[in-house]
Amino acid sequence: MNRATILLLVGSGLLVAAALWWSISMTLTIDAPMTGSGWGAMIAGIVVTFALGVVLMSLVFLSSRRGFDKPPDQVEKKDADSPKERDRD
């Protein structure tokens, strides 16, 4: 791995650790219990957000593989009036 990849992984790990530390410390500091419906709403929001991200990223990769993301000058036109099509008839 090159230096930039290692730096990116270390930075991402530090951000995740900081977010976990902050969330745990805030949970312990604030004395406000969450009801069962609150936990259910939070879990549902996390699952729906994650599923939406997976679906959208899948569509990005699918459109890229099928050639929908090519610039207009690289797209082949399939026109019936082209000379190649007329020569085949």
User: Residue 26, exposed/middle/buried by CB under 10 A (0-12, 13-18, 19+)?
Assistant: exposed
Check: pTM over 0.85? Answer yes or no.
no
pLDDT of residue 83: 57
Find out whether 65 and 59 touch, Cβ atoms under 8 Å: no
List the chain residues with pLDDT less than 70: 75, 77-89
Integer Cα distance of 41 and 8 in angstroms: 33
Q: With left for phi above 0 and alpha for psi between -120 and 50, is residue 44 left, alpha or beta? A: alpha
Integer Cα distance of 59 and 69 in angstroms: 11
pLDDT of residue 27: 81
